[in-house]
Structure 1
């Protein structure tokens, strides 16, 4: 068949989409390298190592890099779980076009018991990709790299200059990296946040969360002396009445409801939560335990007031502690994300079209809903930089995010990469681009 008979040539975007499918194994290899860098928070001690890896992967794409460290006095709590430099990597490639910020948190939750595979090694079974952070959210970085390489390979003209924001401490930190970047005026353009799901969703906002570390101190002696009056003060036993009071408050908190639109799969309204998330204390059977630390996590609805929610917890603790004067007591804030308000805006229709291009959604599939999960973008909104935040990601109910055997799939990485590539492409839905629309 002659060239004349073969039909019109493929566009750059069509060639780019083909390249995404052809080069998915490169994205899988990238993801494997990312998973091997343990960025679990707490403590979040390997952010520099992850920044090194990302610079290595992005350098061939002609990005410029800036490492931005959050000052220690903003995030360091003496008794808190975080340590190590809070290094954020900003990778930019500016040509004068409007900027699209592409946001990722590079931290993961810690490894929890129950993994059937090595959480810090990528395990491939059929099309499933298992590993800590595979879906939340290192896989989204791999999908972005796949989209950017495919655009370059196919010569796709981009509507936006991409700026990658690889940020720290979203998983419960006291001062997330994106907050610091926003407060320092380092953000540009509009932002696509990949801390979401692979669902046809318009983001209506989300809850806030704060974490309090309760430290109860007793006095340690030989356990054989523990039955002698005044010999020792058992901190763990002293913590039990406090935790009983917190469990009573838990039921009060859970009875409240938010007006924030719940996910389509929800069985009822979104509700605030109070959780005893971690306990650490004691040393050996031969000692009366001198100290116990209890991590209290409180998810609060946009309608709630943070100061009031925190005071409610502290009042319950202090009421019980007053009856145990021999115990020492400390309450420290070790993590806080404020609620994110309705993030809809003028770029959402184009992003919805791009998601449809990648995942095959129909316009009528999209719904607007929020979540009791939390985000660090409430801080970005509070600076006044933007209210609109686009949202995408790889999360699915079956992905086991924050659970043993977290995973994503090659198909979803391809679909997300195609969505990103479409959104970036100048000839994709130009009528939906607020930057060029009359």
Structure 2
């Protein structure tokens, strides 16, 4: 009997499982590598992200044939950052089912000088795929596209309507696109966040983080030619004292098993110290400070404490003007796994990547994430996965993923979204 003529409930469910098993081997035939190559070829690097406009046109060409209605959101004057307003786009395909929101970042950091390959050209070497954004998050966009493409090809029904949010939060310092969408209550249902590691992980959440830019200038009491770091030495000493104090604090988030266990601790680090070369005369410098903070501390208290340390050190800087401002803020994520959909997502990850169910461990992340603003806006449950392998750094020179990882993530998304009574055991 043809599939579409079966009317038994059990038969329909058995047919869905058959179609899921049929769909997974077809992922390679979707041409997803060519689709990823199109995304990598567009320069969406921060801070100016000149290609984001063109990138949205590529996304339109990819997702509109899958039945998605894509709409651009008008830039919000209140959230314009470096490079001015940038595009945000929503793609939705409504069938009346519950919604799963999938945020997908379009921008990357600028490529550094150490690339040995063309960063804006997808290069394949064996099973490795090199290109800027292949790990974060152009590879994830492609994995979602391939999952939806193959589901449509075999007629596999979905139990969720995917709501795709395309924003530019990944590398930009001051462009809070995802935060803006969260505040506008655009997200619905629960969130599937695909900017994490390849690991059998139950995501326990993450610390928040802020970056404080400190500018030391007009140092009339200093000697011309004095090094920039020496000008700010009292401020750096005060920050070192705060850093020592933070080592004695702890969050309630477990660290990754490979990091020796225990609980995550807040940190303070000096990202950069650079001379103010645009000014003549007395030396000056700009410090960029990163401070991670726990949910228990909270952003206001963490910022107040950091600014107090800067002010204490500034009193010992002779005749200098010291100014500071927050260049980036990311909120913590708290208990994102406390929801009804995590068991299904774990089965999907097992089916996609081949993880044994017993291998999953619950642990949190050090780095803040724009997804924290989603929780602040009321979305509690956030499922997590991604393409980042341990030891990799996002947007690092020669960034790369593998064919197997993209297809494994795509299989996981496919299995999770599929309308099946139970995801099959991995075989």
TM-score, with normalisation over the residues of structure 2?
A: 0.87
Q: Does 1:281 align with 2:275?
A: yes
Distance 1:361 1:419 in 2: 11
Of 35, 44, 58, the match for 1:53? 58
Check the 8 A contact 1:400/1:407 in 2, yes or no.
Answer: no
Residue 96 of structure 1: how far off its partner (Å)? 1.5
SS for the counterpart of 1:373 is: coil
SS for the counterpart of 1:245 is: helix
Change over 3 Å in CA distance of 1:93–1:256 after alignment to 2:
same
- Counterpart in the other structure of 1:79: none
Check the 8 A contact 1:235/1:289 in 2, yes or no.
Answer: no
Check the 8 A contact 2:215/2:324 in 1, yes or no.
Answer: yes
Segments of 5+ residues of structure 1 without an aligned counterpart are 1-7, 77-81, 221-227, 432-438
Q: Does 1:346 align with 2:340?
A: yes
Distance 1:46 1:210 in 2: 27
Distance 1:312 1:420 in 2: 42
Report the aligned-residue RMSD: 2.9
Distance 2:143 2:205 in 1: 24
Change over 3 Å in CA distance of 1:342–1:33 after alignment to 2:
same
- Counterpart in the other structure of 1:73: 78
- CA offsets 1:249-301 (integer angstroms, 9 cap, x no match): 333323432221111211243221212113343438x9546653221111112
Larger mean CA deviation between 158-167 and 113-122 belongs to 113-122
- Counterpart in the other structure of 2:159: 159
Q: Does 1:247 align with 2:240?
A: yes
Check the 8 A contact 1:48/1:85 in 2, yes or no.
Answer: no
Check the 8 A contact 1:196/1:393 in 2, yes or no.
Answer: yes
- Counterpart in the other structure of 2:10: none
- Counterpart in the other structure of 1:435: none
- Counterpart in the other structure of 1:11: 18
Larger mean CA deviation between 230-239 and 258-267 belongs to 230-239
Q: Does 1:335 align with 2:322?
A: no
Change over 3 Å in CA distance of 1:31–1:303 after alignment to 2:
same
SS for the counterpart of 1:298 is: strand
- CA offsets 1:397-438 (integer angstroms, 9 cap, x no match): 04443433222100011111111111122125289xxxxxxx
Distance 1:229 1:101 in 2: 55
Of 336, 359, 370, the match for 1:365? 359
Q: What are the residue-to-residue correspondences of 1:401-420 with 2, within 5 Å?
A: 401-420=394-413
How many pairs are equivalent?
Answer: 408
SS for the counterpart of 1:320 is: helix
Residue 307 of structure 1: how far off its partner (Å)? 2.2
Check the 8 A contact 1:338/1:376 in 2, yes or no.
Answer: yes
SS for the counterpart of 2:366 is: strand
Of 362, 372, 378, the match for 1:378? 372
TM-score, with normalisation over the residues of structure 1?
A: 0.84
Distance 1:245 1:117 in 2: 42
- Counterpart in the other structure of 1:28: 33
- Counterpart in the other structure of 1:388: 381
Segments of 5+ residues of structure 2 without an aligned counterpart are 1-14
Residue 10 of structure 1: how far off its partner (Å)? 8.9
Check the 8 A contact 2:350/2:356 in 1, yes or no.
Answer: yes
SS for the counterpart of 2:32 is: helix
Check the 8 A contact 2:223/2:283 in 1, yes or no.
Answer: no
- Counterpart in the other structure of 1:292: 285
SS for the counterpart of 2:367 is: strand
Residue 353 of structure 1: how far off its partner (Å)? 1.1
